[in-house]
A and B are shown apart, each in its own frame.
Chain A
């Protein structure tokens, strides 16, 4: 136990920095994934044929082993001299986050009670008014659930990004493995888990805060 304390004392600032680095990498990736995924998911509700294709591609994306996807990124981004580091890791994480976000947005908007939609059209709402006043508010909890899944997945996969030099908490774990240092491995893993729980907790709070009361029940 004493050894633990000592270890944490010595490494605390490094652990903190790596956690921040991890959070920024994942946070930016999620932000961009949202900007792509939510509008795309909404658009797909108007185009069944494309929806099928896009959702399948996104599913396939999620089945690619993360280490392989990171590996593939290296030669691709080498062309623009960004083979290792932040950029390839960021792009890979954006891709991983797409499926839960697109699929949940698509499903949530599609599953808005058709009678509610009918009423909205019949009362004379334009499509954009219908979307923002009725469909999105009522689909919000399901869309948020997709975002939370994406965040947790990304925090986990973000660990692998250390292998291509993107930093983050993965650094502790990869170093721990190569040096046979259990302290490093455990510290890295626990930090990742705590980060995931905190992020999920914050998002859950946002979800509850902004879900209309009468949908929550």
Chain B
């Protein structure tokens, strides 16, 4: 758990980068810091492991004031991933991955075992890649190594500074999925900086939207899309925020709420889509297909029904937009 308590960052010359930000990252959650460039999101992230000093207020990690800890010890307890992966070219993949365990004085045997386990997690062969150097790996592989390096000493908290920002869209999406899968297993408390709205919606349990160092809204992605607190939030997510919110729902959700249409066997050449697909992709597919319907199938290939643009629209209206507002505490 990371708690920000009126956390403030002022640079010399009275430039305030972060203004009294208050929020809590719950244990095992991914919170994405989102906002336009210069909004203070990276500064805020770097204040957690004290790469930036805290001017005022405080940050507590699992109830412990971050300033009460030794700087180096604090950093070794926090996983850190940066955009350009920051792998050291003079070290092999194994050495790179095992830096923090090495600094912490783990035994050779423990390090070896841990390395194999981490490599398994990202589906790379430890034997094959361990002795290679970073430049011998592809960008996507390097970034995966960057991620497991941060996980190496099993820190409870991870900081990720636009970790997938430098990757091409196809690889990025794949690594995002992979990472979410890993997160299901490891359940780290993660603070994640992104400037990409789609990435934020996909990765976040909650989003912190910042502007000029001030917290605009702290909410789940769907709440933020459906009930933006102010004009800035509304504009930031854009006119297509309704469509964006569709990526938070799967066909399965739709099926459970309003059911699918009967499918028409007579129409030849109809595409099939898995029931676990999100609705945004489904909608794109419907639009690109120029067909009236797409057949929905489950994991075993059984046809469950058909989905049309009309049904998606109906779901959007009734299940997303018109969902009753949650009761506000203390009101």
Q: Do A and B bind each other?
A: yes
A residues contacting B by CB (< 8 A) are 115-116, 118-126, 129, 133-134, 137-138, 212-215, 217
The residues of B that contact A121 with a CB separation of less than 8 Å are 51, 75
Knowing A115-B82, A119-B82, A213-B133 are in contact, say whether A125-B89 is a contact too (CB < 8 A): no
Interface code B67-86, partner A: CB below 8 Å = 1, 0 otherwise? 00000111110001011101
Q: A186 to nearest B CB, angstroms?
A: 45
Contact A123 B135, beta carbon cutoff 8 Å = no
The residues of A that contact B87 with a CB separation of less than 8 Å are 119
The residues of B that contact A138 with a CB separation of less than 8 Å are 88-90
Contact A123 B99, beta carbon cutoff 8 Å = yes
Contact B88 A129, beta carbon cutoff 8 Å = no
The residues of B that contact A122 with a CB separation of less than 8 Å are 49, 51, 75, 80, 82, 86, 159
| 7 A-B pairs with least C-beta separation | A119-B86, A124-B75, A212-B90, A124-B76, A122-B80, A137-B90, A214-B133
Please report which residues of chain B, range 38-58, place their CB below 8 angstroms from some CB of chain A when the two chains form the complex.
Answer: 49, 51
Name the residue of chain B whose CB is nearest to the CB of A119.
B86
- Cβ-based interface call for B322 (8 A): no
Q: B229 to nearest A CB, angstroms?
A: 32
How many Å lie between the Cα of A12 and that of B223 in the bound state?
91
The residues of B that contact A118 with a CB separation of less than 8 Å are 51, 82, 86
Name the residue of chain A whose CB is nearest to the CB of B99.
A123
The residues of A that contact B49 with a CB separation of less than 8 Å are 122
How many Å lie between the Cα of A77 and that of B328 in the bound state?
87
Knowing A116-B88, A214-B136 are in contact, say whether A123-B100 is a contact too (CB < 8 A): yes
- Cβ-based interface call for B103 (8 A): yes
How many Å lie between the Cα of A217 and that of B133 in the bound state?
12
Name the residue of chain A whose CB is nearest to the CB of B84.
A115
Name the residue of chain A whose CB is nearest to the CB of B71.
A124
How many Å lie between the Cα of A134 and that of B99 in the bound state?
11
Knowing A121-B75, A125-B103, A126-B72 are in contact, say whether A134-B88 is a contact too (CB < 8 A): yes
- Cβ-based interface call for B134 (8 A): yes
How many Å lie between the Cα of A116 and that of B49 in the bound state?
16
Interface code B157-177, partner A: CB below 8 Å = 1, 0 otherwise? 001000000000000000000
Question: Can you list 12 contacts pairing A with B, beta carbon distance less than 8 Å?
Answer: A115-B86, A119-B82, A119-B87, A122-B80, A123-B80, A123-B100, A123-B149, A124-B75, A125-B72, A133-B91, A214-B90, A215-B89
B residues contacting A by CB (< 8 A) are 49, 51, 72-76, 80, 82-84, 86-91, 99-100, 103, 133-136, 149, 159
How many Å lie between the Cα of A116 and that of B134 in the bound state?
13
Q: A142 to nearest B CB, angstroms?
A: 14
The residues of A that contact B82 with a CB separation of less than 8 Å are 115, 118-119, 122
How many Å lie between the Cα of A119 and that of B147 in the bound state?
12
The residues of A that contact B100 with a CB separation of less than 8 Å are 123-124
Name the residue of chain B whose CB is nearest to the CB of A140.
B90
Name the residue of chain B whose CB is nearest to the CB of A116.
B86
Q: B151 to nearest A CB, angstroms?
A: 12
The residues of A that contact B84 with a CB separation of less than 8 Å are 115
How many Å lie between the Cα of A212 and that of B134 in the bound state?
11
10 extra interface residue pairs, beta carbon distance < 8 Å, beyond A118-B86, A120-B86:
A115-B82, A119-B82, A122-B80, A122-B86, A122-B159, A124-B76, A125-B99, A133-B91, A212-B90, A214-B89
Q: A59 to nearest B CB, angstroms?
A: 31
How many Å lie between the Cα of A24 and that of B284 in the bound state?
77
Chain B CB count within 10 A is highest, among A120, A121, A123, for A123
Q: B131 to nearest A CB, angstroms?
A: 11
Name the residue of chain A whose CB is nearest to the CB of B136.
A214
Name the residue of chain A whose CB is nearest to the CB of B74.
A124
Chain B CB count within 10 A is highest, among A115, A124, A213, for A124
Name the residue of chain A whose CB is nearest to the CB of B100.
A123
